[in-house]
Amino acid sequence: MKTVAIQNINRLSVDQFVQQFGNVFEHSPWVAQAVVNNRPFSSLHEMIAVMTGVVKRASDEKKLALIRSHPELGYDKIKLTADSQHEQNQAQLTSLTKEQRTTLIELNEAYREKFHFPFVICVRNYNSYDSIIKALQMRLSSSAKKEMDTAIAEICQIATLRIEDIAQKIAQTTASSLSTHLLDLVSGQPAANVKVVLYHRDKAVFEGYTDQNGRCQLPASVQGFVSGAYQFAFYVADYFKKQGYALTDPPFLDVIRVDFGITRNVGHYHVPLLISPYGFSTYKGS
């Protein structure tokens, strides 16, 4: 599934990539903007390493701004991003008792007074309020330099989990593979060496030829298709000419274009095509 996800992440436009991943580092789209042109990534692991590397190599000023962009834990009157709200809900930090909330706020304030930035922790790695409180108390004894490094490491862990969540959603809205098969109705034989081009959003994402069996299986490098509209273009006139068929000038059928849609969670799409110089038919195969 991760392979499918990274293939589709690599196909996103610049704006789409930044929209999807711009907030994995809280209120800091500059990270996604810094890496978008590093694509294609070979794996989700590489993408995460590149994004977290940008943060780790950033200036102290940028790191401090990133840490300060994170919300304090346990406050019920501050506006949270959707991601932060979900994470704090999971850790049950939005349903604390009055006593628990008072303790957390007092520790938060002591932490901010000492380090001049909020306490940041990847709450998804902690299974209870008590474990978060214990971590906060321990970190209060750290030096400022060590605590900044720890906060950045926690932020990178938060971002890693968010990236993996987004990648999983992207993978779940894809079909895993696509193929086509051409049959020449005149000869009753497979149509070999027909040029095939696949388009998505008016952009060619694959170009190849049918094999001796008339089949064209798209390679792994272009597998994993987001839901949406696609088009196959079959250059049949060139094929008919090579077969020696008499064609009109211009040919009645030059390029056959088949528009089709891919919907989510379908393992394989097969688009067969039956062709002659003056007609064709297609259907959803299996």
Per DSSP, the residues of 240-276 read HHHTT----SS-S-SEEEEEEEE-TT-SEEEEEEEEE
Contact 217, 244 (CB under 8 A): no
Residue 222: pLDDT band by 50, 70, 90 thresholds? low
pLDDT score recorded for residue 21: 95
Enumerate domains of the chain plus CATH numbers. 2-172 (1.10.3330.10), 175-282 (2.60.40.180)
Residue 159 has pLDDT above 90, yes or no: yes
pLDDT tens column, 245-268: 999 999 999 999 999 988 755 567
Ramachandran assignment for 92, one of left (phi > 0), alpha (psi -120 to 50 degrees), beta (any other): left
Q: Please state the pTM of the whole predicted model.
A: 0.64
Looking only at the bridges linking them, the beta strands covering 228-235 and 268-276 are unpaired
pLDDT tens column, 80-123: 677 777 777 776 777 788 999 999 999 999 999 999 999 999 98
Looking only at the bridges linking them, the beta strands covering 203-209 and 195-200 are antiparallel
Cis peptide before 250 (omega within 30 of 0): yes
Q: What span, in angstroms and rounded, lies between the C-alpha atoms of 218 and 21?
A: 28
Cis peptide before 272 (omega within 30 of 0): no
Catalytic residue among 27, 45, 70, 181: 70
Contact 95, 180 (CB under 8 A): no
Q: What is the mean pLDDT of the chain?
A: 89
The yes-or-no answer on residue 45 being catalytic is: no
Q: What span, in angstroms and rounded, lies between the C-alpha atoms of 235 and 117?
A: 62
Contact 124, 90 (CB under 8 A): yes
**Which residue matches tokens 């610049």?**
14
pLDDT tens column, 168-209: 887 766 556 789 999 999 999 999 999 999 998 888 989 999
Residues near 119 by Cβ (< 8 Å), separated by ≥ 6? 72, 73, 107, 108, 111, 112, 136, 139, 151
Residues near 46 by Cβ (< 8 Å), separated by ≥ 6? none
Q: What span, in angstroms and rounded, lies between the C-alpha atoms of 83 and 75?
A: 16
Helix residue spans in the chain (DSSP H): 2-11, 14-21, 30-35, 44-56, 60-68, 82-90, 98-115, 129-139, 144-172, 236-242
Residues near 137 by Cβ (< 8 Å), separated by ≥ 6? 107
pLDDT score recorded for residue 1: 52
Question: What average pLDDT score do residues 202-225 get?
Answer: 82
pLDDT score recorded for residue 214: 96
Nearest Cα neighbor of 44 from 164, 181, 146, 218 is 164
pLDDT tens column, 24-55: 999 999 999 999 999 999 999 999 999 999 99
Contact 231, 257 (CB under 8 A): yes
